[in-house]
Amino acid sequence: MKRLLCTSLLVLTSAGLLLAENAKPVKYTATMTGVVCGACKKTVRQSFTKMGASNIEFKPGAKQGEQSVTFESTNPKLTKDEASKALGEAAEEFKVLALVAN
């Protein structure tokens, strides 16, 4: 019985790891304010990396004072609140206005 439980646990764990490794990245675009210089971009990049973001790029936004931050994540359900929370204290300076999956 112990052997069966151990084998079952091993199979389930392995299957979970395979699914996690094969998760297709989701592309996101965050509309933000306050990202005006290289140091700002570095802070946002480090913060978003902590929430699993990769391939982070910055571009001017559609409106004056806004920036468009595109990135990928294996989390298919990131929210604006999670992105703001990832910024920590920097969220007072950098505002996430919107976050959409592309």
Residue 8 placed within a domain: no
- H or E element in which residue 4 lies: helix 2-21
How many domains, the chain?
1
Q: pLDDT by residue (tens digit) across 10-59?
A: 444 444 544 555 689 999 999 999 999 999 999 999 999 999 999 999 99
Q: pLDDT by residue (tens digit) across 54-68?
A: 999 999 999 999 999
Helix axes 80-87, 38-50, angle to 10 degrees: 120
* Structural domain boundaries, residue 33: 24-101
Q: pLDDT by residue (tens digit) across 69-94?
A: 999 999 999 999 999 999 999 999 99
* Residue partners of 55: CB distance under 8 A and separation at least 6: 70, 71, 72
Residue 2 placed within a domain: no
DSSP 8-state class, residue 89: G
Residue 19 placed within a domain: no
The pTM of this model reads 0.76
